[in-house]
Amino acid sequence: MAKLLPTSLVGSYAQPEWLIDRAKLASRFPPRVRARELWRVAPDYLKQAQDDATLLAIRDQERAGLDIVTDGEMRRESYSNRFATALDGVDIDNPGSALDRSGHPNPVPRVVGKVSRRHPVEVDDVKFLRANTDRTIKMTVPGPFTMSQQAQNDFYKDEEEMALDYAGAVNAEIKDLFAAGADIVQIDEPYMQARPEKARRYGLKALNAALDGVTGTTAIHICFGYAAIIHVRPEGYSFLPELAGSPIKQVSIETAQSNLDCTVLEKLSSKTIILGTLDLSDMTIEKPETVAARIRRALPHVTADRIIVAPDCGLKYLPREVAYGKMCAMVEGAKIVRAELSK
């Protein structure tokens, strides 16, 4: 029997101070175009330093006891910009502008031609991750809908068409990631929550296109934005039950900071829920019992064998010792509930 309540990150882990200017990273919106000036290691050594930071992120996850391990997204300035700026059809040297979910303009790639994937972007990353842990591994890719919202469309007649081409690029990437050894691939679609009408109109269609012909275990992450940047949270998602109809197998949601009414999970009865149980706005490390209580809150609405225990969102902006402590608390909290369930 598979272990109940396996633990996992959503995707990112805290990057080391020596690798990237964390103060600068935190003082701005997540970069949508490249922000190479954030890196603190000379270009000649940057790849080795990113590899080493990845090994440390893997080690921290393993030491904390996580069952599913990511590469911590150490090589990324943001969850989306590394992939989004590697595509054909986008001009990143002369960026456009789009409103961030906070309503502020942020420089974004300008779409000036047909969007397509030039080459695999994260395949080396997943190979590196596969080579360096024996545990189950997960890779994240930015979702087509979110990328279409983080772009200035100067080419397509309508945004849906653009989103579908983004989906084509993501689809090719996902297939390559599974071929290279990924156990789970997660599509990050935070903007489905930020733009629910558009998400309903063509976001789901783009998501399904991204999954076309994919046979591996796929997840989707939807959230209210980084706690470090978006401070206020609604108590419910504006876009979530819609995912019941998608072929995606796992849905990653935040419940800790938002104090989410978990009843909504009943509408996702065919999905595994990656349950956010760490509040990333609070730099105090949760007690295992607090995590356990957050897991128990979901149990009336989701069968235990469909729950993966996770933080609310990426740990990128947390101080590393806090991030590590929270992972440990999460593992301990899951252990408490696992023991209760086995009685």
Partner 1 sequence: MPAKLFPTSLVGSYPQPDWLIDRARLSKMVPRVRMDDLWLIDPKELEEKQDEATLLAIRDQERAGLDIITDGEQRRESYSNRFATALEGVDTANPGSTLNRSGKPIPVPRVTGKIRRKYPVELRDLQFLRANTKRPVKITVPGPFTMSKQAQNEFYKSDEAMALDYAAAVNDEIKGLFAAGADIVQIDEPWMQQHPEKAREYGLNALNRALDGVTGTVAVHLCFGYAAVVHDKPTGYSFLSELEGSKATQISIEAAQPKLDLGVLEKLPSKTIILGVIDLSDMNVEAPETVATRIRKALPHAAAERIVIAPDCGMKYLPRDVAFGKMQAMVRGAAIVRLEESDD
Closest by Cα among 325, 334, 338 to 64: 325
| Closer residue to partner 1, CB minimum distance, 10 or 49 | 49
Q: Shortest gap between Cβ of 132 and partner 1 (angstroms)? A: 7
Q: What residue has token string 């599974």?
A: 178
| Shortest Å distance, C-beta 136 to partner 1 | 17
Closest CB to partner 1 among residues 136, 290: 136
**Contact footprint for partner 1 (CB under 8 A):** 16-18, 41-42, 45, 48-49, 52-53, 55-56, 58-59, 132
What's the rounded Cα separation, in Å, for the pair 3 and 44?
A: 43
Which is nearer to partner 1, 60 or 67 (by Cβ)?
A: 60
CB of 14 to partner 1, least distance (A): 12
Q: From the CB of 22, what's the least distance to partner 1, in Å?
A: 12
Q: Is the Cβ of residue 48 or residue 116 nearer to partner 1 in the bound state? A: 48
Residue 15 or 80: the one with the smaller Cβ distance to partner 1 is: 15
Q: How many whole angstroms separate alpha carbon 95 and alpha carbon 110?
A: 5
**Token pair 């030491």 is at which residue?**
63
Q: Closest approach of Cβ 324 to partner 1, in Å? A: 12
The least distance separating partner 1 from the CB of residue 120, rounded to whole angstroms, comes to 22
Taking the least distance from each CB to partner 1, the nearer of 128 and 202 is 128
